[in-house]
Amino acid sequence: MSMWNKLTGELIDIVEFVDPARDTLVYRFERYNNEIKYGAQLVVREGQQAIFVNEGKLAEVFAPGTYRLETKNLPILSTLLGWKYGFESPFKAEVYFVGTRQYLDQKWGTQNPITLQDAHFGLVELRAYGTCAYSVTDSAAFLREVVGTSGIVQTDVIQGQLRSQIVTHFSDQLIAMKIGVENLVGQQGELATALLPKINADLAKLGVALSQFTVENMSLPDALRDEIFKYSRLNRVDLNALTKLNSAEAIENISLKPGGAAGMGGDLAMGLAMAANLGNALGGNAGAATTAVPENYFVALAGEQQGPFSAAQLSAMIQQRKVTADTRVWRAGMSEWVRGGDEPTVAQMLAQVPPPLPPGA
């Protein structure tokens, strides 16, 4: 500050703040040595509050309006400074302007994916983002808990705290609502409504509250999304037609191998068996359409429980000989783990796999 400003600083008789950027939450009014002329005019605009702080202690809070800074308008500060009979000289105090308007269209998002346990698809990773609007509802609490000694606080300072509170409650709320990942899109509004009061309960101690909160998008890994789409289509398909299509494709693919149709006897049988197995595993009866969701199996491998696996996934593991007749399996409705060869559906899948080739074959 120049010498002229130092000498004339006490003569400035209007205390006000206009935010040109519209992203300032708190601004400390700059005065030389924090001295304010007695009788100066304080202008507090709509969407603001002004707080006077004396020696680190909150003294006065002013709502929107225009005030003359004198004893009658500064009762607490007058007591702290010992103004028993008025005061004519400049006095020292810090003045903070706190924005209390709505800060709209604030972005939030999960910086890292949230891990959830889904009943059908096991552990899944989810990302989400949206918008919110908030305001400072308790200027004194906000000054104490967030501002501290900062001269200026802008909206980006509180974004991290907002994100933390949102993510903390996000996964808990999904579990409480028992929403399957395949149904997330249709539940975004309901999820946002349920989250809003819980987030605000944590923000209250900071003197902040959300007035609006939206979940605009929830995204899953591409592989899982594709699997969900596949199951969605299978729930609406004629499995009899699907089995015939798979059989025809298997015959066509095998016939293109060296030797053509003459050498495809064993491969043809395997292709037809796999196509039939797909129909049986997904529908139980390839001759009729079904809307049943494929059953999910847990498998004991290397002494550890793994899964859940869909029937299609389990069939692939059997084809790769990772699951055998002696492998223990379990699905919903079973009282205990059983050998794969003793579970009817798994046994049917096992029956479609040829035994290992004899030595020297």
Instruction: List pLDDT tens digits, range 16-45.
Output: 999 888 889 999 988 766 677 778 889 999
Query: So what's the pLDDT on residue 18?
Result: 92
Quick one: CA dihedral 32, 38, 44, 50, positive or negative? positive
Spatial separation of the C-alpha atoms in residues 232 and 185, rounded to whole Å: 14
Give me the number of domains the chain comprises: 3
Residue 357 lies inside a defined structural domain of this protein? no
Of the residues 99, 120, 152, the one at which a domain ends: 99
- Answer whether residue 241 shows pLDDT above 90: no
Residue 172 lies inside a defined structural domain of this protein? yes
CA atoms within 13 A on the CB side of 5: 7
Residue 156 lies inside a defined structural domain of this protein? yes
CA atoms within 13 A on the CB side of 341: 4
Task: Please tell me whether residues 90 and 115 are part of one structural domain.
Answer: no
Query: Of 183, 312, 289, 313, whose CA–CA distance to 238 is shortest?
Result: 289
Residue 358 lies inside a defined structural domain of this protein? no
Burial of 162 (C-beta count, 10 Å sphere; 0-12/13-18/19+): buried
Residue 209 lies inside a defined structural domain of this protein? yes
Query: Of 137, 155, 133, whose CA–CA distance to 206 is shortest?
Result: 137
Strand runs (DSSP E) across the chain, as ranges?
14-15, 24-28, 35-36, 41-44, 48-54, 57-62, 65-68, 91-92, 94-99, 103-109, 114-118, 122-136, 152-154, 208-219, 296-301, 304-310, 328-331, 338-339
Of the residues 62, 81, 99, the one at which a domain ends: 99
Of the residues 205, 220, 235, the one at which a domain ends: 220
Spatial separation of the C-alpha atoms in residues 235 and 242, rounded to whole Å: 12
pLDDT digits (tens, 9 = 90+) for 88-130: 566 777 889 999 999 998 888 888 888 888 777 788 888 899 9
Task: Please tell me whether residues 200 and 267 are part of one structural domain.
Answer: no
Range of the domain at 191: 103-220
Residue 273 lies inside a defined structural domain of this protein? yes
13: left (phi over 0), alpha (psi -120 to 50) or beta: alpha
